[in-house]
Amino acid sequence: MYECLNLKKLGYKEIILVGQKTNSYSSNLNGKKIKFADLLDKIAQINIPRISFLGNHPLDFTIDILDVMNKHYNILPYTHLPMQSGDDHILKLMSKKYDLKNI
């Protein structure tokens, strides 16, 4: 989040959060657990005009994230959920721990 504050001071207009499993983010800050939805909410409050995130994992895409997206005008109203395959057989071959019913 501190990096985002510095980027705002430098005049940046857009932040894209990118990772292998971006929405799986979790951290402990001063003994308090911070989930991705919490982080996204705090970044949105910095008032950078455009915020988006890529590289989400279907199992970690929660209603909390959607609530934060709906709450802030500056979080772009789309998401990137990579669907590795739409076929349970292929998901099994890829050693995924979920199937189409559990996404």
pTM: 0.80
Condensed to tens digits (0 to 9), the pLDDT of residues 1-12 reads: 789 999 999 999
Condensed to tens digits (0 to 9), the pLDDT of residues 42-98 reads: 999 999 999 999 988 877 889 999 999 999 999 999 888 766 667 889 888 988 888
What CATH architecture is 2-102? Answer: Alpha-Beta Horseshoe (3.80)
Whether the Cβ atoms of residue 61 and residue 23 lie closer than 8 Å to each other? yes
Residue 47: its pLDDT value, please?
93
* CA 102 vs CA 45, 61, 94: distances in Å: 32, 12, 16
Sorted by where each begins, the domain ranges of the chain are 2-102
Rounded to whole angstroms, the Cα distance separating 103 from 15 reads 27
